[in-house]
Amino acid sequence: MAKLSTTNISSGIQQHGIFQFSNGASSGNYIHMETTITQPSSNIMMMLEAVGYNYGASLPVRCAWTFYSYAYALGGGNNGAYTGLSADGIYYTSAGYVAIRAYTSSPYYLGFTLDAYPAAGNGGGTIIGIRRVSQNSTSGAYY
């Protein structure tokens, strides 16, 4: 279950803990998360950041996805030195939502929390959540 908390900042709402993911000895290197942001009419600029730890790889998790949902304009992922999980992609689902895809080389005991930040004026004040999540072997669009 997702836990939502918000903090007001000058550009909008910074949301911590919008979704928590954890697994055990799971298979499937890709994690697909469908957001509550619709395409393209929502006109939202947002950054989602995953922070956590990958026990199987013995590596910390810190990566981010940025997107602009207007007119089918999607952004990209940002991966740093914390390589327990990678921001692997962003796509539109068949239901009309923005989805993010993560990749891990070791899906064994992985846990992270998603935080959300408005990336510009478009999206300030927007409450974002995760509608559904799937861990599998699909490297492209799953939903």
| Residue pLDDT, tens place only, 61-113 | 999 999 888 866 677 777 777 899 999 999 999 999 999 999 999 999 999 99
* Angle ∠(59,17,124) on CA atoms, nearest 5: 120
In a domain, 141, yes or no: no
In a domain, 104, yes or no: yes
Contact call for residues 109 and 126 (beta carbons, < 8 A): no
User: Once rounded to an integer, what is the mean pLDDT over residues 119-129?
Assistant: 81
Using CA atoms, how far residue 20 sits from 96, 101, 112, 115, 131, in Å, is 23, 15, 6, 9, 12
Q: What value does the mean pLDDT of the chain take?
A: 86
In a domain, 54, yes or no: yes
In a domain, 142, yes or no: no
pTM: 0.87
Query: Which carries the bigger pLDDT value, residue 96 or residue 40?
Result: 96
By residue range, what is the domain housing residue 88? 5-136
In a domain, 98, yes or no: yes
In a domain, 110, yes or no: yes
In a domain, 12, yes or no: yes
Q: Total structural domains in the chain?
A: 1
